[in-house]
Structures are given as C-alpha cells and as structure tokens.
Amino acid sequence: MTARSGRPSMLRSAGVVGLLTLLSRITGMLQSRLVANYLGAGLAADAFMVAFRIPNLLRRFTAEGTMTSAFLPTLSEVETTQGEAAGREMVAKFLGTLGLLLALLCALSVPVMGLLTGLQMLGRLAPEVRWWQQFSVLRQVLAGTRAAPAQWVLTTTLARIMIPYLVLVSLTAGLSAVLNLRGRFGLPASVSTFWNLAFISFSFACLHWGPAPWRRPERAAVFLAAATLVGGLVQLFVLWPAFRRMGFGIRWGLYLRHPGVRSAMKRMAPGLVGTGIHPINVVISTVLASQLAVGAQTILFNANMMGEMVLGIFAASVATVSLPAMSRLVDAGDIPGLRASLASALRGTAVLVIPGSVGMAVLAGPIIALIFQTGRYDAAAVGWTAHTVAFQAVALLFIATGRIAAQCLYALKDYRMPAYAALFGMVVNVVCSILLMGPLGTAGIALANAAASLAGLGFLTVALHRRAGHLPFRAVLGGWTAMAGAAALMGVLAWAGARTLGLETFRGLGGSSLRLFPLITLCALFYAALLFAFRVPEAKMFKDLVLRKLTRP
C-alpha cells in the first residue's frame, strides 16, 4: 500500500471511529452527569474518583496502551511469517495468558488495596501534619494504631469492588485489537457507548427506584462501583460474537514459552512506562491534589475527562487506526510511506484537537455547567472545574501528538524510547506540579501536565528522527500554523457569542443547550470555512468523507 493510497483510507477509518467515539463521549457526558448528581464534589465523590482511577490506570498499561502497542505488531509479524493459523493460536494463548495473569494480580491487590488508596490520598489522612509526616500516618492507619478516616475506608471498599474491571477491559481491548487488524474499526469503537449505557441503566435503576437511604453519597458510591463491573461485562459480550466469527478464541493458561506470547510480553515490559506517561502523571496529580481542598481530586478527574473527550473524538481514533497501518508499512520496509503516514496522522489529529482545545478553554464555563451542574454539584464546583479545564486544554495537542509519535516508534519495534520519554516527562510533571500547585491550585497541576507532555513529546521527536530519518516537519508545522490561526479566529467568535447569548449564567439544561449548541455549530462552520480559505488539505478530505456518508444509499 503506498502512502498516497493509504492516507485517505486511514483518515476515512479514523473518521468512522471518531464519529462512534463522539457518540461514546455524548453518552459519557450523561454518565458523568449522573455521577455528579448523586455524589457532587465532596468526600464521597473524591473517594469514588480515586478508587475508579486504580483499575483505569492499570488498564492504560495492560489494555489499549501497552498491550495493544506490543500485541498488534507481534501478531502482524506472526501472520506475515507463519500464516493466519499461527496468528489465531498466538491470539488465543496470549489473551489467555494475559487474562489469567491479570486475574491473579487483581486477587493479590485486594489485601493491599488500603496501601494503594492511602498513597493517593495522603493529604486526607491527617491534614494537620506536614506532607513528609503523612507516610508515617498511613503506616499507623494500616497497622491499626490510628483511627482510619471514613473517606479512606470508603475509597478502599470501592477500589476492591472495581478492581476486577481491569480483567474485563483488558480482554475487551485485546478483542478490539484483533478486530482492528482485520479492518473492523466501528464495533470496537462503540464498546465505550455500551459501557456508558450499561452504567447509566444499572445506576439509575438502583438509585432512582431504590429506597431513599441508597441515595446518600456514601451508599450511592457503592452502587456506582458495581455499575462499573456491569459495564465491563456488557462491552466484552458486545465484541465476543464478532471475535468468534473470525475464528479466534481464548485459551486459558500460562503460555509464556510460546514464541509469539513471549515476544509480545517482552515488548510490553518497557512499554509499561512508555505508554503510561499520561496516566502516570494523572496519578501523581491525584496524590498532590490530596494536599489541596476537599473536592480537588474530583475537579481534576473531571477536568482530565473533558480533555480526554476532545482527544477521544479524533486523536485517539487516529492513534487506533495508525498503529496497524504503520506496522504494515514497517513490515514491508516502506520507510518513506511510514513518514507520509506519520505526517497524515499528525495533521489529521491536529485539525480537530487544536480547535477543540481552543473551544473548550473559551467555553469551559457553560460546557461544564451543562454537563455537571445538577444535584450536589453546585455552581461553585462548576466554576472551579471550568477554571481547571481552561489550563488542561493547553496540554491536549502535546498529548495527542505524543500518542501518535509513540505509535510510530512501536511500529518500528522500538519500545525503550517511549519509556525514557515517560520517565523524563514524569520528572517534569512532579517538579512543575510542586512549583505551580501553591499559587494556582488545581489549575497549576493541569498546567504541569502540559509541561510534562511537551517534554515527553520533545524526547519522542528526537527518537523518531533517529529511527525514521528526516521527519516531515515542514508539512506538519505548516498545517498546524494554518489550523491554529483558524482556531484563534474561531475562539474570538466563541468568546463574543458566549457574552452576547449570556452563557455566563446557567439557565438549566434546556435554556443553556438552546444557546450553547447553536454557538458551537456556528464556530465549527466558521472554522471549517477558514480551513478552506487557508487551503488546508484535511478540510476537503473531511468534506468528502461526510458527503460520502450522507449520499451512500
């Protein structure tokens, strides 16, 4: 496949994934609104967010992050050199081995869960002592010589309920990777929507129709934790029939001597750090936020989720379809085609991430109010979240670009450089967070994440230049400049429109929606028109994609 022929195909596949991911993000907003309604931004909300982050952090290492990046290139190699039958055997044994190892990990983590949750909420165990003394407080709590805070007990309970989600989501990611390699991108991209819908249905049924005591925040958090497992089961069952129809299965056991399994596992080892740069920084932010006011961890979680919403609409979609495409180009020895595919992925990502970042920063207040202002999540929490989101938006282009750069290195079978980049970014994140959280609070931690992402991206760029030769800097930076100019003008329109329509005041779901969504639509059309005026090639590609979808019988 040439670069020319592969480029529209990759962007077309990314467009399909992006549309389905957009649906996932919309249902995700409803899921977040339900959580905000019952938990607000208090102690129970912080407990749920910290507990939920533990399996989600691990999933970034064992699921769509490291596992996919090591599994797909290995499977592609096996099928290229040994045939599809060998590939099916490798899939069955790899997923069986991974699933069993993760089940053992979950079982072993249950008795030490108090330590894992305590490390993420040190500042809440004893707010009156200095941060370096809080480790001693945690030791006393674990030993039973000091009274355990109620929030720590709740967080630990919720984490123990949710930890099996790691096995479910990792197997789901494995099935998705196989379907992606076979060119099936739509169904895997829809599983998050099924998770959201299952979570909402189960939670609403229990908390809306159940007895009143269930709706107390501490009780409601337990039902929300159970809903996480229900969603994990549903999304796995959604993919299983298609996976089986392709002739694949799972063979449970430890097949560490199988060459394909051993190769994939070895490639996962350095990637445990490399792919996890962003979630590692998020966990560091969670620990540091425990030193701030109650609710800070919930605010940071929601701000990060808003950033992931922008990234997921298209950036994650491009990353998903680019790894199989880049792996095939590397296996064919087509390095010029790899560079062209990389340029296409970077420009295709930025064309939506840049305006998404600008729009999210300018309209953070009304967007956050529309999603979260309900029940126990009041106007003060909305304002706090919106302020943090505006700083979080700075990091999005760096995070998105870093994901694509890491995928390219994984396609080149280089798993060490992303790991080094992650360590470098983690150090930058810690230093900047400590320096900025004092004067800026949660906004300072969000800004530190941006600095860490930029530092990691710089490291990855140098590594790519060494492995792939001259990178297409001119093509990428030229496109970014035009996109940034169009997004800046769009941002001015969004700012003026928000003030003209009075969006600084929340008018309920109906009143705010009737003002916000038309403004977003107008800004999107204005941005698209500017892209055509600036002759950005991606504008025509997206127009052709939309027209094909609308006119297809």
How is residue 296 written in tokens?
Answer: 């800070």
CA distance 59 to 162: 12
CA distance 120 to 123: 8
Map out the domains of the chain as residue ranges: 3-127+149-548
Give percent above pLDDT 90 in the chain: 20
Instruction: Decide if 272 contacts 61 (C-beta within 8 A).
Output: yes
Report which of residues 420 and 249 the model is more confident about.
249
Strand partners, 377: 374
Q: Is the pLDDT of residue 190 over 90?
A: no
Work out the pLDDT band at 510, boundaries 50, 70, 90. Answer: confident
Does this model's pTM top 0.85? My answer is no
Number of residues in the chain: 553
Work out the pLDDT band at 5, boundaries 50, 70, 90. Answer: very low
Phi, then psi, of 174 in degrees rounded to 5 = -65, -45
Half-sphere exposure of 278 (CA within 13 A, CB side): 27
Residues contacting 164, CB < 8 A, separation 6+: 55, 106, 229, 232
Rg of the chain on CA atoms, in Å:
23
Report which of residues 445 and 148 the model is more confident about.
445
- pLDDT score of 108: 92
Phi, then psi, of 165 in degrees rounded to 5 = -60, -25
Residues contacting 29, CB < 8 A, separation 6+: 309, 371
Nearest CA to 43 out of 433, 375, 376, 279 is that of 376
Q: What angle do CA 176, 180, 182 make, to 5 degrees?
A: 120
For the ranges 190-194, 207-211, 327-331, which has the lowest average pLDDT?
327-331
Q: What tens digit of pLDDT does each residue of 398-415 get? A: 888 888 888 788 777 777
Burial class (CB in 10 A: 0-12, 13-18, 19+), 105: middle
CA distance 295 to 536: 43
Q: What does 236-289 look like in DSSP terms, one character per residue? A: HHHHHHHHHHTT-----S--TTSHHHHHHHHHHHHHHHHTTHHHHHHHHHHHHH
Q: Tell me the CA distances in angstroms from 156 to 47, 80, 139, 174, one per residue in order.
A: 8, 46, 15, 28
Place of tokens 């106007």: 379
Q: Is the pLDDT of residue 486 over 90?
A: yes
- pLDDT score of 142: 84
Q: Is the pLDDT of residue 28 over 50?
A: yes
Q: What tens digit of pLDDT does each residue of 118-147 get? A: 877 776 666 666 666 777 878 888 888 888
Q: Is the pLDDT of residue 110 over 70?
A: yes
Q: What is the mean pLDDT of the chain?
A: 81
CA distance 251 to 92: 5
Across 478-497, average pLDDT: 92
CA distance 492 to 244: 51
CA distance 286 to 119: 10
Report which of residues 491 and 80 the model is more confident about.
491
Q: Is the pLDDT of residue 103 over 50?
A: yes
Q: Is the pLDDT of residue 496 over 90?
A: yes
Work out the pLDDT band at 295, boundaries 50, 70, 90. Answer: confident
For the ranges 47-61, 183-197, 200-214, 265-279, which has the lowest average pLDDT?
265-279
Across 471-476, average pLDDT: 78
Q: What does 186-239 look like in DSSP terms, one character per residue? A: HHHHHHHHHHHHHHHHHHHHHHHHS-GGGGSHHHHHHHHHHHHHHHHHHHHHHH
- pLDDT score of 131: 61
